[in-house]
Amino acid sequence: MMIGFRVDANEVIATGHLMRCISIALECKKRGQQCIFFMAEDKETERLRKAGFQYYILNSDWKNLDNEISEFQKILENYKLNYLVVDSYQATAGYLAALEEIQPVCYIDDLKREVYDVSVVIHYISPFKNDSYEEMYRNTHTELLNNMKYAPLRPEFHYKKEKVIREKSILITTGGTDFYNVAGKVAALCQNSMQIKSYKIHLIIGSMNQHETELEQLAEKYTNIILHKNITNMSDYMRLCEVAVSAGGTTLLELCACKIPTVCFSFADNQVKFANDMGKIGAVKYVGDARKIEDIENKIVKQLLIFIKNEEERKKYADCMGKLIDGHGTERIADVLC
């Protein structure tokens, strides 16, 4: 019994894709399944080694998956997988259909661009019910998992009943990259506010952050800025800090599971709609797209001040977040795959 994962992570593709696949794989492993990862290039594979998963480097072009179909099909015939989970925006309908011929395919579909001829489709990145999306799959053989309850978070994000004691601190996280150095600009601007200056700032440096040297210089200058890299206990910081600043994407789901009031921004096309939708329902405070707002750090810090000054406002957002996510999505996905 084996589950395969076709996913990539690099300077362009956010590490969140790999991390959510690892989360699903860990739950499948608990249920006695072997798991193997297939990747175009040897990047971010240290995460797989640490998690104890084998991987196969295809030496293909992650930007054009159709070109790897023939060779990948031959490789897959040797593994006899129960399911192949595919997590890539570069996967075309033709690519997925070709892989479905070898074994059942489960596609994680964030974008809802078209109907895919696969066994299972997972879409959890939307707080709004979408009847038209379900209608697209109504007369197909595809099992559609279309709900935020399928968010594939790691076990550390499971709901905890005990009361969380938070310190006067701010969490800043942008995922694997931070092209616009929003984290650094926000941390620096916080030093100009007497109220925020008294807060610790826990700043998470992504594995491919282009501004690491600048952040280290900032932390040397200001003692309240604490840098963290290669952490394996993100939930601890999300439950420790009073408020958070985060880029859009799957990290927002982790923040929801930990019920930490969050100021959110986007810097990639695939982040905009989800971040905006989460803002509309009052789960996060979305301040806009860093690519279009030159001084977005000012808007972020302004909203941080509102959260810090108003406990009721923080509670309102935290309550909304807690109703969306319980952290058990990987178990529900594994119920289908295993």
Q: Tell me the pLDDT tens digit for each residue of 258-317.
A: 999 999 999 988 889 899 999 999 999 999 999 999 899 999 999 999 999 999 999 999
pLDDT top residue among 219 and 14: 219
What is the dotted CATH code of the domain comprising 159-324?
A: 3.40.50.2000
CATH topology for the 2-146 domain: Rossmann fold (3.40.50)
254 is in an annotated binding site: yes
Those residues whose C-beta lies under 8 Å from the C-beta of residue 90, and which sit 6 or more positions away, are 62, 63, 64, 65
Q: What pLDDT score does 161 carry?
A: 64
- pLDDT-based confidence at residue 216 (cuts at 50, 70, 90): very high
Residue 164 has pLDDT above 90, yes or no: no
Q: For the residues 123-150, what does the mean pLDDT come to?
A: 88
Domain ranges for the chain, please list them: 2-146, 159-324
- pLDDT-based confidence at residue 154 (cuts at 50, 70, 90): confident
Mean of the per-residue pLDDT values for the chain?
93
Among 11, 63, 62, residue whose Cα is nearest residue 38: 62
Q: What pLDDT score does 213 carry?
A: 94
- pLDDT-based confidence at residue 162 (cuts at 50, 70, 90): low
- How do strand 120-123 and strand 105-108 relate by DSSP bridges? parallel
Q: For the residues 193-206, what does the mean pLDDT come to?
A: 93
Q: What pLDDT score does 125 carry?
A: 84
27 is in an annotated binding site: no
Q: Are 292 and 314 spatial neighbours (Cβ–Cβ below 8 Å)?
A: no
- Catalytic residue numbers read 17
Q: For the residues 237-248, what does the mean pLDDT come to?
A: 96
Q: For the residues 46-52, what does the mean pLDDT come to?
A: 94
- pLDDT-based confidence at residue 91 (cuts at 50, 70, 90): very high
**What percentage of the chain has pLDDT greater than the value 90?**
78
The answer to whether domain 2-146 and domain 159-324 are alike in fold is: yes
Q: For the residues 146-150, what does the mean pLDDT come to?
A: 91
Residue 1 has pLDDT above 90, yes or no: no
Residue 79 has pLDDT above 80, yes or no: yes
Distances (CA, A) of 290 to 27, 58, 178, 208, 281: 35, 34, 10, 18, 21
